[in-house]
Amino acid sequence: MRKRVKLKGRIKTFTKFSIYLGILLLLMNVAVFLLDYRAGIVLAFFTIFYFAVTLSLYFYNKPVIINELVSFATEYGQIQRKLLRELDLPYALLDDSGKVIWTNMAFEQVIHQPKGYNRSITTLFPSITKDRLPAEGGVDEAQYDLQYDGGEYVAKFKMISLREMAEHSSMIEARDYNGYLVAVYLFDETALHIALQEVDDQSLAVGMIYLDNYEEALDSVEEVRRSLLIALIDRKVNKYISAQDGICKKLEKDKYLVILRKKSLAQLQESRFDLLEDVKTVNIGNEMAVTISIGVGYNGLTYAQNYEFARNAIDLALGRGGDQAVLKTPESVTYYGGKSPQVEKNTRVKARVKAHALREIITSKDMVIVMGHARPDVDCFGAAVGICKIAQTLGRKSHIVLNEVPASIQALVSLFRNNPEYDGDMIVGSQQAIELAGSNTVLVVVDVNKPSITECPELLHYCKSVVVLDHHRQGTETIENATLSYVEPYASSTCEMVSEILQYTYDNIKIRSEEADCMYAGIVIDTNNFMSKAGVRTFEAAAFLRRNGADVTRVRKLFREDALEYKARADAVSQAEIYKQYFAISVCTTEDLPSPTVIGAQAANELLNIKGIKASFVMTPFQGRIYVSARSIDEVNVQVLMERMGGGGHMSIAACQLEGTNLPEAIGYLKRTIDSMLENGEL
């Protein structure tokens, strides 16, 4: 680097001041010469002598002055260097390649390296690469959060141009300076982060604990022991919360309010809320094990907001079937447990109340629009037909939203199209439904509670009154602000729920054989011929439909399959891979069939007949996506597993859809998910 050092500024003016005075004297000499040439000659000799002395002194003293200034600057720089060297703030200089060229003592203490460390900054902080440093033509400053040797720092990087540094000098002028340096400042925020973490750990979380089957459990034990059963459960719950330095207050006979620190909540999460399993061990002769649901809200702006989160979480836990813990924050919802099958409620009080509420809503409107999920199945269409029957009985016009007719329901749809007993516009598309919707229209959503996968999500915004009827477990995404929501995870199918509602909507209601066949078919398909999730109320609903004209033989004929479909299902079963001894994984790759996803679901059911298989998974590529059908009998909760992969469903029947992936990647993703959940004890 070449330097040309010159005086500048006030120092330059001061050293040349005598020369400027000489020029003024020369001008005065000219003026005197014009007035009197003899005086001008005398003054001219004096002026020559003055210039001779002044120039001699200037050229003699200039190097001396420069040397003195350089000496002073050097001594001043040494003082600055010593102060910077002993500065408590960690400071270092880097060259333009990111190599450390100078460090002060505080920086050396942080990195635990001696003086003279001259390696790349990346060797100290791997995340700081050359492209993240300030550079010419880029950003002048940068700031990053770093962790080093247990400490947390904020590192600030600032570019120092050598040319600009020279131009700002007050005494000397430097030219042809090229390149730049990078200054590094480390601000230790370890103590601040520890303090913030401590404050966060001490923040309060609000929880609610409900006993899922309080009445049923008490009914299963003799009366003299009921108080003992309640006392044992109370002791379990209170001891569990007290061990975490929390407060537990019993609000009602089956409800508890819990206050605890967020740090304690983290410990409960690590143990995966083992209270869920611990409560089930309470047994004093009761035939039914007691299960609980836990809802916790935290990270809210206020305690009131945490309480609201807890209420939403407990509602979500109950809506998903109970026996689980749900944690809700402003950003996310986390689930724990949910391994026990849902207990069927023998009472129909809730169904009767919901039926009367639905009747009031429909009678207050002029029109009913029924919508299910995209690519509706038999249960979805059967439930929609049942709602249309309710609307017809109450004297209201009804429509079913159906954009395309999957092969699985073509036979059912044909029963109503071109049928003189039904209106020609009974089945409409999304656009037509939006045009029909208005302020005096009620939208009934069946067999789905996720707005994103409904047949027409936009329709939810056009109807002020929305009713939700579903039997799937609720997830994070739900239809909000529904006028009436009836979600029962223990129900075998939505058709079962609609059949019960039909009986309470109108006394001695009569339904046509086509309608009875549709709803009966929905129950048969979702229960796999009454072999899965079929309870007392399932058979009662089926009996009601049989009394109203449903024919088993007719339904069976509707769902007979051709040879290609039968062969495709057999191929999927024969090619199954047994993973980890208990999981069957297969692929259904028949693209030429109209509904390969249905074949995949049937193959998953068939795989459960293999001895030792706890869960089955069949992947079906279709229309650019991979559809995963998951089935189990009772030991594995496939709904939790499918939720982890972005889907959902029931404990024994669930599914998900994967986009932007191929079959090998999807199979690998499924296996990794199984491994992870097995390792964490979630399956």
Which among 191, 168, 186, 166 has a CA at the least distance from the CA of 176?
166
Burial degree of 603 (CB within 10 A; 0-12, 13-18, 19+): buried
Contacts of 179 (CB under 8 A, 6+ apart): 1, 95, 96, 162
pTM here? 0.58
Tell me if the domain spanning 563-679 has CATH number 2.30.110.10: no
Neighbouring C-beta atoms of residue 211, cutoff 10 Å: 23
Tell me if the domain spanning 205-337 has CATH number 3.30.70.270: yes
User: What are the structure tokens assigned to 268, written together?
Assistant: 């409960």
Q: Answer yes or no: are the C-beta atoms of 391 and 398 closer than 8 Å.
A: yes
H or E segment and range at residue 546: helix 536-547
349-558: CATH, from 3.40.1010.10, 3.90.1170.40, 3.40.190.10, 3.90.1640.10 = 3.90.1640.10
Q: Where are the alpha helices (DSSP H) in 333-442?
A: 349-363, 378-393, 410-413, 430-436
Rounded Cα gap, residues 408 and 596, in angstroms: 10
- How high is the pLDDT of residue 172? 45
Rounded Cα gap, residues 461 and 2, in angstroms: 73
pLDDT per position as a tens digit, 315-347? 888 877 788 899 999 888 888 877 655 555 556
User: What are the structure tokens assigned to 170, written together?
Assistant: 């007050």
The shares of helix, strand and coil residues in the chain, as percent rounded to the nearest 5, are 45, 20, 35
Rounded Cα gap, residues 82 and 85, in angstroms: 5
Which among 133, 76, 81 has a CA at the least distance from the CA of 104?
81
Tell me if the domain spanning 91-195 has CATH number 3.30.450.20: yes
Secondary structure letter of residue 494 according to DSSP? H
Q: Answer yes or no: are the C-beta atoms of 371 and 454 closer than 8 Å.
A: yes
Q: Answer yes or no: are the C-beta atoms of 683 and 640 closer than 8 Å.
A: yes
Name the β-bridge partners of 401.
Answer: 371, 428
Rounded Cα gap, residues 121 and 94, in angstroms: 8
Strand ranges for 523-645 from DSSP E: 577-579, 583-587, 615-622, 625-632
Q: Answer yes or no: are the C-beta atoms of 327 and 333 closer than 8 Å.
A: yes
Q: Answer yes or no: are the C-beta atoms of 381 and 517 closer than 8 Å.
A: no
Domains in the chain: boundaries:
6-85, 91-195, 205-337, 349-558, 563-679
- How high is the pLDDT of residue 386? 92
Rounded Cα gap, residues 430 and 441, in angstroms: 15
Parts of the chain with a pLDDT under 50:
1-4, 170-177
Neighbouring C-beta atoms of residue 622, cutoff 10 Å: 18
Please check whether the two domains, 91-195 and 205-337, share a CATH topology.
no
User: What are the structure tokens assigned to 65, written together?
Assistant: 């002055």
Residue with tokens 């299902």: 569
Cα Rg of the chain (Å, integer): 41
**How many distinct helices (H) and strands (E) make up the chain?**
24, 25
H or E segment and range at residue 294: strand 292-297
- How high is the pLDDT of residue 2? 39
- How high is the pLDDT of residue 615? 92
Rounded Cα gap, residues 490 and 320, in angstroms: 9
Half-sphere exposure of 367 (CA within 13 A, CB side): 16
Angle between helices 536-547 and 513-526 (to 10 degrees): 160
Phi and psi, residue 355, nearest 5°: -65, -45
- How high is the pLDDT of residue 315? 84
H or E segment and range at residue 563: helix 563-574
Handedness of CA 662, 666, 667, 672 (dihedral sign): positive
Q: Answer yes or no: are the C-beta atoms of 397 and 485 closer than 8 Å.
A: no
Q: Are strands 247-252 and 255-261 parallel, antiparallel or unpaired?
A: antiparallel
∠ CA(449), CA(453), CA(458), 5° rounding? 95
User: What are the structure tokens assigned to 396, written together?
Assistant: 């209201």
Rounded Cα gap, residues 380 and 470, in angstroms: 9
Which among 207, 100, 229, 204 has a CA at the least distance from the CA of 157?
100
